[in-house]
């Protein structure tokens, strides 16, 4: 049996479906490229039958990813499998992942069928998917609560039908390690053809045991772990990719297994996913939390100063967390910026040097000194920008009266090439600016949440504003970054407005195409 664990990442499927606002195709592609650099073996990037947007995202990623195998999810239904196969057909290599519930409670309450009927559906789905690819994965949903006799039957028949990977999910995070390990061991002991497939596990974190269950499973013979960056996912989340990767690397002598994950990409990938998904990482999160390599106790600090391994079992550099925050000024040339971006792990394809350098000089004039984390933040915001933005923020002026609690704002905003100006009064500078933007644009946006965070350290840190807005029963996530928090707030709102505008344009195009089809057109 191989000593390599296949890393199956489902950040863009199981992780993304749990977000308050869906990611754009561009954002999903950014994450997919990061996952490819991270070295994931398989990335599950969507559920094509669920929506035209998901179909487009899967197809776009499948067309662009070359070094990881791209996978799409489908229920055990021919229409689902057809959609997955069509979306993935542009990929050099792909996997179809089909599933059906197997636990008694799911079979009887959700599917309203007998187990034999479900077994027949599973076999039919695997055989049908094999018409499109020889890389078919089958999942026994809620395997952790499935009677072991039924589970063994299902696994044996799915393998016989042609599934090359069999996934055993702890869908509701119910099992404990000894129990889950026992399930895997029983499958290896009782399923006669189990050597013809890779056994995978997909554990949820409802009881905080997803990583422990996954590690126990591979110790009992499983060779694929399904996980997400930062552990994002349904309810309490999924098994955390970075924790699995570093357990395998740090405790290799004990576990005796390894993965192909490039650990030095962990920190950057974690940060990207956190920012794009608007899901902050808790400070005490293992591996990637802000406090993961921080020592507060005097005893701990003294020990680390004498010998780093007294209280650190991993080096920060091992996950790409560089201690060297080189400060740059407006006198720093383009070659310095290019060198720092390379040192931080970015390739020239990840950003436009002309735009980044212009933004760097503007920031350097404001702050005096620019640090690595500032440069990364600028690169992130540049990646979020779009050439076809309908709204562009030109100017903001704000006057506040703290005694009366009122503020006046005047703004200039460009709408599809035409400059509009407006003034407004509000309960504070941000409220006043938002009212002025609404007046100038004629676009009312319902702000559901507003978050302000510092990117960097000290009083000159960049301020990042994340807002969640509701428009026609859809949520949109906007981001703004600036040294002035009012400016950052305005940029976040304009970002949301552009997302809404693009969504409206796409919806109009789809409606026109549908109307033409109904009239006998395209």
Helix, strand, or coil (residue 67): coil
Strand 391-401: give its sheet, edge to edge.
391-401, 406-415, 418-426
Partner residues linked to 398 by β-bridges? 409
As a whole number, mean pLDDT of residues 459-472 equals 86
Distance CA 238, CA 273 (A): 14
- Interval 190-220: pLDDT, tens: 999 999 999 999 999 999 999 999 999 999 9
- Interval 346-389: pLDDT, tens: 777 778 888 889 888 888 887 777 877 778 778 777 776 666 68
**Phi, psi angle pair for 4, to nearest 5°:** -100, 135
Helix, strand, or coil (residue 185): helix
Residues 6 or more apart whose CB falls under 8 angstroms from that of 342 comprise none
Q: What is the DSSP letter of 40?
A: -
Helix, strand, or coil (residue 4): strand
Distance CA 18, CA 16 (A): 5
- Interval 45-62: pLDDT, tens: 999 999 999 999 999 999
pTM over 0.95: no
Report whether pLDDT(24) > 60.
yes
Q: What is the DSSP letter of 49?
A: G
Distance CA 32, CA 68 (A): 9
Q: What pLDDT score was predicted for residue 147?
A: 98
Q: What is the DSSP string of 297-328?
A: SHHHHHHHHH-GGGT-SS-GGGGT--S----B
Query: From its phi and psi, is residue 479 left (phi > 0), alpha (psi between -120 and 50) or beta?
Result: beta
- Interval 65-113: pLDDT, tens: 999 999 999 999 999 999 999 999 999 899 999 999 999 999 999 999 9
Distance CA 442, CA 436 (A): 10
Residue 36's pLDDT band, with cuts at 50, 70 and 90, is very high
What burial class does residue 84 get, using C-beta atoms within 10 Å of its C-beta: 0-12 exposed, 13-18 middle, 19+ buried?
Answer: buried
Distance CA 388, CA 439 (A): 22
What burial class does residue 124 get, using C-beta atoms within 10 Å of its C-beta: 0-12 exposed, 13-18 middle, 19+ buried?
Answer: middle
Report whether pLDDT(515) > 50.
no
């Amino acid at each position: 049996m191989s000593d390599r664990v296949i890393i199956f990442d489902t950040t863009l499927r199981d992780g993304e479906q749990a977000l308050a606002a869906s990611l754009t195709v561009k954002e999903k592609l950014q994450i997919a490229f990061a996952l490819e650099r991270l070295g994931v073996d398989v990335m599950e990037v969507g559920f094509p039958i669920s929506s035209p947007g998901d179909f487009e995202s899967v197809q776009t990623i499948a067309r662009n990813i070359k070094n990881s195998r791209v996978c799409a999810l489908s229920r055990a239904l021919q229409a689902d499998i057809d959609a997955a196969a069509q979306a993935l057909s542009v990929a050099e290599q792909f996997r179809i992942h089909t599933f059906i519930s197997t636990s008694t409670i799911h079979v009887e309450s959700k599917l309203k069928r007998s187990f034999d009927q479900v077994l027949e559906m599973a076999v039919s789905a695997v055989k049908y998917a094999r018409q499109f690819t020889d890389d078919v994965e089958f999942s026994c949903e809620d395997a952790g609560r499935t009677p072991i006799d039924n589970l063994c039957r299902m696994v044996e028949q799915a393998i016989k039908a042609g599934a090359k990977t069999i996934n055993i999910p702890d869908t509701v995070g119910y099992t404990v390690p000894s129990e889950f390990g026992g399930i895997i061991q029983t499958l290896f002991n009782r399923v006669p053809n189990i050597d013809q497939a890779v056994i995978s596990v997909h554990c949820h974190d409802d009881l905080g045991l997803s990583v422990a269950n996954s590690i126990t499973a591979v110790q009992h013979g499983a060779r694929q772990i399904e996980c997400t960056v930062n552990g994002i996912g349904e309810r309490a989340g999924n098994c955390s990719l970075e924790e699995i990767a570093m357990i395998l690397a740090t405790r290799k002598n004990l576990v005796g297994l390894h993965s192909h994950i490039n650990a030095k990409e962990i920190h950057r990938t974690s940060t990207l996913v956190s920012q794009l998904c608007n899901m902050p990482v808790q400070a005490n999160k293992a591996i990637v939390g802000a406090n993961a390599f921080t020592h507060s106790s005097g005893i701990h600090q003294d020990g680390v100063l004498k010998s780093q391994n007294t209280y650190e079992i991993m080096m920060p550099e091992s996950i790409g967390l560089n201690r060297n925050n080189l400060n740059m000024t407006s006198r720093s040339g383009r070659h310095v910026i290019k060198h720092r971006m390379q040192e931080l792990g970015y390739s020239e394809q990840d950003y436009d040097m002309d735009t980044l350098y212009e933004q760097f000089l503007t920031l350097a004039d404001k702050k005096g000194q620019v640090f690595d984390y500032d440069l990364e933040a600028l690169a992130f915001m540049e990646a979020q920008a779009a050439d076809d933005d309908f709204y562009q923020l030109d100017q903001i002026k704000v006057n506040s009266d703290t005694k009366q609690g009122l503020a006046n704002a005047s703004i200039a905003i460009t709408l599809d090439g035409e400059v509009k100006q407006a003034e407004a009064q509000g309960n504070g500078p941000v409220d006043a600016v938002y009212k002025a933007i609404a007046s100038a644009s004629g676009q009312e946006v319902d702000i559901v949440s507003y978050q302000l965070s510092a990117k960097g350290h000290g009083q000159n840190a960049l301020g990042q504003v994340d807002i969640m807005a509701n428009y026609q029963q859809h949520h949109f996530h906007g981001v703004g970054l600036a040294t002035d928090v009012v400016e950052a707030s305005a940029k976040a709102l304009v970002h949301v407005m552009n997302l809404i505008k693009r969504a409206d344009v796409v919806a109009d195009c789809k409606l026109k195409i549908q109307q033409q089809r109904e009239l006998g057109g395209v």
